[in-house]
């Protein structure tokens, strides 16, 4: 059966229009902010469900959630019910001025740590949607840090997505120190089906790979420009979540807290752990934001079909660093 050139052109035109007209919209709800693409859920910014905000669920290219459901939803087949503070996608750190914003339920050192929404600064619908939020990192009821989060959502063909996760961290009237810890940074806990291996059974079909070629357990602690966690989503089709570091970020390229059980975080405050074999000592990863000063960090997440090669992750990263 032959297809006429006119028919091909018509199909291409319709496809191009469908991509170009994809619109990101935001809806403010009582306890969360809903993010949709052409009326279909992509994710929600959960700001009241817990002591710190996170994005959940996160709908991947095949229309299913690509982050772990636990502890928001329990009993999902194939999921490990460990580390309840690994909530989908979020930014945090284990030791900020002695308090744990990574696992706030732990009340590390007897402190009560929370991250609270102060205000929604902007919700801008469009072909690239932008959500800007101002958060307060609170310790024992007092302000420790202000955090401006800017999320940009850029839909791609075939239901892929680029999501920028930019941060401006400001110390108010006192210095703020991010102490050397492996647990911290911008992170994702992938769907149970995507993990490299189960912690108990060792079963798994996922893969971790970074820009330097390190794979799976070898990627833990290594510095790299980007890192990708890919494997079968709950529908059985291969997808990936890549996190990109930006050249102007502190300590670029970042170290990666990449775990085969499903965790991937870009953590630039853990040198004493990640580079211990190269002579780094505990405390070498400490970083202090002086009172009144701001630390800015940029990241991009790429939700894609297939392997990094299939999705041309390296090429996408090359485009990102030119921005």
Task: Domain count for the chain, please give it.
Answer: 1
pLDDT at 18: 44
pLDDT at 17: 42
> What pTM value is reported for the model?
0.93
Q: Are 216 and 207 in contact (CB under 8 A)?
A: yes
Check whether 11 has a pLDDT greater than 50. no
Residue 250 in domain: yes
- Answer with the residue of higher pLDDT: 26 or 9: 26
Residue 144 in domain: yes
pLDDT at 5: 47
pLDDT at 203: 84
DSSP reduced 3-state for 7: helix
Residue 32 in domain: no
Residue 29 in domain: no
Residue 19 in domain: no
User: What residues form DSSP beta bridges with 288?
Assistant: 177
pLDDT at 20: 56
Q: Are 257 and 221 in contact (CB under 8 A)?
A: yes
Domain that holds residue 106: 67-321
Q: Rounded to an integer, what distance in angstroms lies between the CA atom of residue 35 and that of residue 49?
A: 17
Q: If you average pLDDT over every residue of the chain, what do you get?
A: 94
pLDDT at 7: 47
């Amino acid at each position: 059966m032959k297809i006429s050139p006119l028919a091909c052109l018509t199909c291409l035109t319709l496809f191009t229009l469908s991509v170009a007209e994809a619109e990101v919209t935001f809806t403010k709800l009582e306890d969360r902010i809903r993010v949709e693409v052409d009326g279909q859920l992509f994710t929600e910014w959960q700001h009241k469900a817990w002591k710190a905000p996170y994005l959940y669920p996160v709908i991947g290219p095949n229309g299913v959630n690509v982050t772990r459901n636990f502890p928001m939803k329990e009993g999902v087949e194939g999921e490990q019910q460990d580390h309840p503070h690994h909530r989908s996608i979020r930014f945090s750190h284990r030791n900020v001025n002695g308090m744990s914003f990574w696992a706030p339920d732990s009340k590390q050192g007897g402190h009560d740590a929370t991250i609270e929404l102060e205000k929604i600064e902007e919700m801008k619908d469009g072909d690239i949607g932008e959500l800007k939020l101002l958060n307060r990192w609170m310790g024992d009821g007092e302000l420790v840090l202000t955090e401006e989060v800017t999320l940009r959502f850029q839909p791609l063909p075939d239901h892929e997505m680029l999501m920028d996760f930019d941060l401006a961290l400001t110390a108010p009237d006192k210095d703020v120190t991010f102490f050397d810890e492996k647990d911290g940074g911008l992170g994702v806990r992938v769907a149970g089906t995507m993990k490299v291996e189960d912690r108990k059974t060792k079963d798994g079909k996922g893969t971790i790979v970074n820009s330097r070629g390190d794979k799976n357990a070898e990627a833990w602690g290594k510095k790299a420009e980007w890192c990708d966690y890919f494997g079968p989503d709950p529908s059985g089709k291969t997808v990936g979540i890549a996190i990109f570091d930006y050249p102007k970020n502190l300590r670029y390229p970042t170290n990666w807290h990449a775990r085969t059980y499903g965790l991937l975080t870009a953590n630039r405050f853990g040198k004493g752990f990640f580079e211990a074999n190269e002579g780094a000592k505990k405390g070498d990863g400490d970083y202090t934001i002086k009172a009144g000063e701001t630390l800015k960090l940029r990241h991009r997440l790429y939700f894609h079909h297939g392997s990094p090669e299939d999705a041309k992750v390296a090429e996408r990263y090359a485009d990102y660093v030119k921005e």
